[in-house]
């Protein structure tokens, strides 16, 4: 089985670390790892060591967005510009603060901001731009976008939850007090501690505000369930083909042992304050375990990414070359039928994103999105399919490509 949608990051090492933590509850909420993980994020993820950047950790990326926006002292109905082809976790915090999300279109080659449409959507009420590095691809016209933001005196929140291109990132480090990085450590992101997020800034005033928030730690029972996720996910994946994994997955869901990544409240278009908690030490330990292997993880992702590129897009998409993507994006006709055909063969690929603001169940009118306002994003949502780049061997990637090519040749 190849399944991009279920626990793509988890290895035996992650499962073992999490399993052993189940028996050490005194380390769950507070501990020295909370400070250690901040240094490792700077060193191994952002690839910087000599910049005075401040990191505030949160229980989730959406909580990080919520409190960062709140710290900016914006007024009701102030506008936050965000791209279509994104997820609810970015948009719902904006609405919860009674701010107005304004959606701009994307360009196909980077799946990120189209600067022409972005500039068109800026108004007197515009205060913030969220710039997304989709799949870990640096926006192709990033410098032009930064100049537009600077010209209009807007705050920039750069969403690098999907990953970054380390070799270039030192030249793109925070330069102003109105420039922030947003990170997420959810189970499907570049690094996973099941849940988690962070704001990175050199703005001391905002950093003090974020650090002084009166948030509580998740309960012991919630942390216990989060620690169960990695061992259960690993066992499900390695035993899925012999049906044991399917049984384990079924009963884990039936007994509510696996906490959903998106809550039912969020699927209805409402911000869920369930995530407004401190980042616990237990999750910092899980994150450290992945951070110490991050260089190796990125090299493997880059190798698989370039293999797909060579086989599928040999003369195109140069932006993807040498990037360690968390998912490899491919645009195909008859996407849903092809996805179903692959699923019958035990290959479950991703569909990030099959809605201008994912997930599919989200009522777009609740989040202020108007159809035909971002036509490129809407077209991409109908054609996008994602191939795995994490925890997949080259032999498996070759098998996947051969199967995909066979299905693409089939008349659907």
Question: Which residue, among 205, 109, 202, has the nearest Cα to 158 in the 3D structure?
Answer: 202
Residue 117 is predicted with a pLDDT of: 98
134-166: per-residue pLDDT in tens? 999 988 899 999 999 999 999 999 999 998 765
- Alpha carbon 259 to chain centroid distance? 17
Contacts of 19 (CB under 8 A, 6+ apart): 227, 230, 231
Pair 64, 89: CB distance under 8 Å: no
Q: What is the DSSP letter of 31?
A: -
Residue 343 parent element (H or E): helix 335-344
- Alpha carbon 16 to chain centroid distance? 24
Please state, rounded to an integer, the average pLDDT across all residues of the chain: 90
Pair 236, 248: CB distance under 8 Å: yes
Residue 171 is predicted with a pLDDT of: 46
- Asked if residue 34 has pLDDT above 70, the reply is yes
Contacts of 17 (CB under 8 A, 6+ apart): 230, 285, 286, 289
Predicted TM-score (pTM) of the model is 0.94
66-76: per-residue pLDDT in tens? 999 999 999 99
Query: How would residue 299 be classed by pLDDT, with cut points 50, 70 and 90?
Result: very high
Measured between alpha carbons, how far is 9 from 160 in angstroms, rounded to an integer? Answer: 17
| Ordered DSSP codes for 266-328 | HHTT---GGG-SPPPHHHHHHHHHHHTTHHHHHHHHHHHHHHHHHHH-TTS-TTTTT---SEE
Helix axes 394-409, 294-312, angle to 10 degrees: 30
Residue 324 is predicted with a pLDDT of: 87
């Amino acid at each position: 089985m190849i399944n991009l949608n279920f626990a793509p990051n988890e290895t035996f090492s992650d499962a073992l670390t999490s399993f052993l933590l189940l028996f050490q509850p005194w380390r769950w909420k507070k501990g020295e790892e909370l400070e250690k993980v901040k240094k490792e994020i700077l060193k191994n993820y952002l690839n910087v060591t000599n910049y005075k950047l401040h990191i505030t950790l949160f229980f989730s990326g959406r909580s990080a967005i919520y409190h960062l926006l709140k710290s900016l002292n914006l007024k009701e109905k102030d506008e936050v510009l965000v791209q279509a082809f994104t997820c609810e976790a970015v948009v719902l915090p904006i609405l919860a603060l009674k701010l107005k999300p304004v959606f701009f279109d994307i360009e196909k080659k980077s799946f990120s901001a189209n600067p022409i449409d972005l500039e068109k959507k800026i108004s007197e009420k515009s205060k913030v731009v969220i710039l997304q590095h989709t799949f870990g691809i640096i926006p192709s016209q990033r410098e032009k976008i930064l100049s537009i933001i600077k010209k209009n005196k807007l705050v920039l929140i750069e969403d690098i939850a999907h990953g970054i291109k380390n070799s270039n990132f030192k030249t793109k480090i925070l330069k102003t007090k109105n420039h922030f990085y947003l990170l997420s450590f959810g189970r499907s992101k570049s690094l996973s501690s099941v849940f988690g997020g962070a704001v990175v800034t050199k703005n001391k005033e905002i950093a003090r505000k974020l650090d002084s928030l009166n948030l509580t730690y998740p309960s012991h029972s919630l942390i216990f369930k989060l620690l169960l996720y990695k061992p259960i996910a690993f066992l499900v994946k390695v035993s899925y083909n012999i049906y044991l994994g399917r049984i384990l997955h079924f009963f884990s869901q039936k007994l509510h042992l696996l906490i959903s990544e998106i809550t039912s409240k969020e699927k209805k278009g409402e911000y869920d304050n369930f995530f407004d908690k401190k980042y616990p030490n237990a999750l910092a330990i899980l994150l450290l375990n992945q951070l110490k292997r991050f260089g190796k993880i990125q090299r493997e992702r880059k190798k698989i990414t370039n293999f797909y590129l060579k086989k599928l897009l040999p003369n195109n998409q140069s932006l993807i070359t040498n990037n360690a993507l968390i998912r490899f994006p491919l645009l195909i006709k008859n996407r849903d039928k092809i996805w179903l055909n692959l699923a019958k063969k035990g290959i479950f690929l991703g569909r990030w994103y099959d809605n201008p603001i994912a997930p599919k169940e989200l009522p777009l009118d609740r989040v202020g999105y108007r159809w035909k306002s971002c036509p490129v994003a809407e077209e991409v949502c109908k054609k996008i399919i994602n191939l795995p780049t994490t925890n997949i061997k080259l032999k498996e990637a070759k098998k996947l490509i051969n199967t995909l090519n066979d299905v693409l040749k089939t008349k659907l």
